[in-house]
Structures are given as C-alpha cells and as structure tokens.
C-alpha cells in the first residue's frame, strides 16, 4: 500500500467509546492515510500528544502517553521471570513493546505483525521502531500471529500479546483456542502478558476471558494501568503462567529510564477494584 496523497482535509478526528461519548484530537498535520487489506491506517500530529496512530478509527499509540501502555504490558512479565532470554511479541507493529523488551539482556525477540504497512508507516513516523529493528536481537516476522504460534517450533520464556481490540484481524487473538496454542509454545517457567481492554467498558469480555484462562493456566491474574488516551483511561492486562506468580518477591530491579513502571506500581497494579473482582468471581 502506498501513501494516500489526497489526505483527509479535516480539522479533527474522533474515537467513539460508546454511542454517546469518546475522545477527539485536533489535527495539526496529517502525516499518513491509507487502507491495507487488513485495516485503515491514519497517522497525524496533535499539538498536545504529538504523533498519533489510529487503526480502524481507534487510538493505538501516541508519542506523549505510549509509555504507560507499553511499560505495563512488558515489565510485569519480564521482571517476574527469573531469566527471560527468548521473547515473542504478537502484534505491536508500532514497536513500543519491542523497544521496552530490548532494555533487558535478552537473546532474541520475535515481533510478529500481520500488517506490513503498519510496520513501514511506524518506522517512518515513530523513530523508536526503526532503531529497535536494527538491534541484532530483533527478528521481524510479517504474518498472522495465530499461524505463527501453530507452526513455530520455538519455545519462549515470555510471550507478549500486543493486539488491538477483538475486531478485524485481531479477533482470533482473544479466543480460547489461541491461548491454548500459546501455552504449547512456552518454556516450563514461561509467562504470558496480554492486553485485555478497558476496565470500564469491557467487563463482560473480562469475565468471559477469565472463565477460560483460569482453566488453561494455573496462575491467571488481571492487572491494570493508566493509559490517558484509551477508553476510560484505565486499561486491563492479564498475567498468565503455570509456575510464576507476579506477586512473589521480585529479586531484581527494573531497567533504568522508565517513566511509569516501578516495583511499587507493579504490586499496586494487581490490586483490583471491587467491581472487577466481583465480575471475575
């Protein structure tokens, strides 16, 4: 797919969280607009949030607040695992999760993204991706994450599922069969961390997902973290393992240079609000 040279002549872009509310961004400059076989991609500049990536009319990342999401997806899993060496990221074509994983002395990181144009556009407009892909430990695979899991012969210490919402090409990444396949690719002390959706708006989805996750993994814990530009402002994640409890005493320190995550944040993130605990139970 090539850049759309007739970029939209609009002054703002909106994401609806329900039929009656959402978030809007005033557009300072449109940078990229196009449609792939999988989704619509839009990248623009906003005066407050910097460069913003939209996929199918949903915010994926912004320069200003990406660290909230990517640090909370990556570091609880990488810090909890005693020696993470081989890492798999499914989704995450903007490169934020890859950037965070490469802070660790890992040996190899696979980034599996279904849409090559997300990679190409992000390399151009989000510089952290291009620099991360130049790291000799990074291996880029353009393909379906579900197919990769079923076909690979590799075993991983940590698998990170950085999918978009359960619509379009990411639908399969939220289903029971996918997590059953994921488990077969884990080493004995393996850990999975996955984004799970909005705390406020996706309660029924959390209940449905937890009902099958707790049957697949011996340890299945939801945790939360702020993401200002995501629906509701607080996002949910799941931590999955058969052997590693994220609330056990962590014997190492997070990498330097983080903006949000620390060990106090780690412990607090697994303290769930009453309404979510009731829904999961």
Helix axes 203-216, 176-184, angle to 10 degrees: 40
Question: Hey, which residues does 160 pair with through a beta bridge?
Answer: 89, 193
- Alpha-carbon separation of residue 161 from 119, 129, 238 (angstroms): 16, 17, 10
- The two beta strands, 50-55 and 108-113, are unpaired
Distance of alpha carbon 118 from alpha carbon 172, whole angstroms: 19
In the three-class reduction of DSSP (H, G, I as helix; E, B as strand; rest coil), residue 55 is classed as: strand
Distance of alpha carbon 1 from alpha carbon 35, whole angstroms: 7
Residue written as token pair 């950085």: 162
* Residue 157 designated active-site: no
Encode 33-65: b = buried (16+ Cβ within 10 Å), e = exposed.
Answer: bbebebbebbbbbbeebebbbbbbebbbbbbeb
Distance of alpha carbon 97 from alpha carbon 106, whole angstroms: 14
Distance of alpha carbon 223 from alpha carbon 205, whole angstroms: 15
The full DSSP string for 69-123 is HHHHHHHHHHHHSSS--EEEEEE-TTSHHHHHHTTS--SEEEEEES-HHHHHHHH
Give me the catalytic one of 94, 115, 162, 165: 162
Indicate which residues carry an active-site annotation.
162
């Amino acid at each position: 797919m090539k850049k759309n040279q007739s970029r939209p002549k609009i002054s703002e872009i909106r994401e609806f969280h329900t039929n009656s509310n959402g978030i809007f961004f005033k557009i300072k400059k449109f940078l990229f607009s196009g449609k792939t076989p999988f989704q619509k991609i839009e990248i623009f500049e906003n005066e407050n949030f910097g460069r913003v990536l939209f996929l199918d009319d949903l915010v994926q990342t912004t320069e200003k607040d990406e660290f909230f999401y990517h640090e909370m997806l990556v570091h609880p899993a990488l810090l909890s695992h005693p020696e993470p060496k081989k890492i798999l990221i499914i989704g995450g074509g903007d490169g934020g999760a890859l950037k965070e994983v490469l802070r660790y002395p890992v040996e190899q990181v696979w980034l599996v993204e279904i849409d090559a144009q997300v990679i190409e556009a992000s390399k151009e407009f989000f510089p952290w991706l291009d620099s991360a892909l130049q790291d000799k430990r990074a291996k880029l695979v353009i393909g379906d994450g579900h197919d990769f899991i079923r076909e690979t012969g590799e075993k991983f210490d940590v698998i990170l599922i950085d999918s978009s919402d359960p619509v379009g090409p990411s639908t399969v990444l939220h289903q029971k069969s996918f997590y059953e396949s994921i488990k077969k690719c884990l080493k004995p002390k393996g850990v999975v961390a996955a984004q799970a959706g909005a705390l406020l708006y996706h309660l029924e989805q959390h209940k449905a997902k937890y009902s099958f996750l707790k049957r697949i993994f011996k340890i299945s814990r939801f945790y939360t973290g702020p993401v200002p530009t995501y629906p509701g402002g607080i996002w949910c994640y799941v931590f999955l393992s058969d052997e590693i409890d994220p609330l056990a005493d962590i014997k190492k320190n997070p990498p330097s240079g983080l903006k949000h995550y620390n060990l106090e944040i780690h412990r607090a993130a697994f303290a769930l609000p009453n309404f979510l605990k009731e829904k999961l139970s």
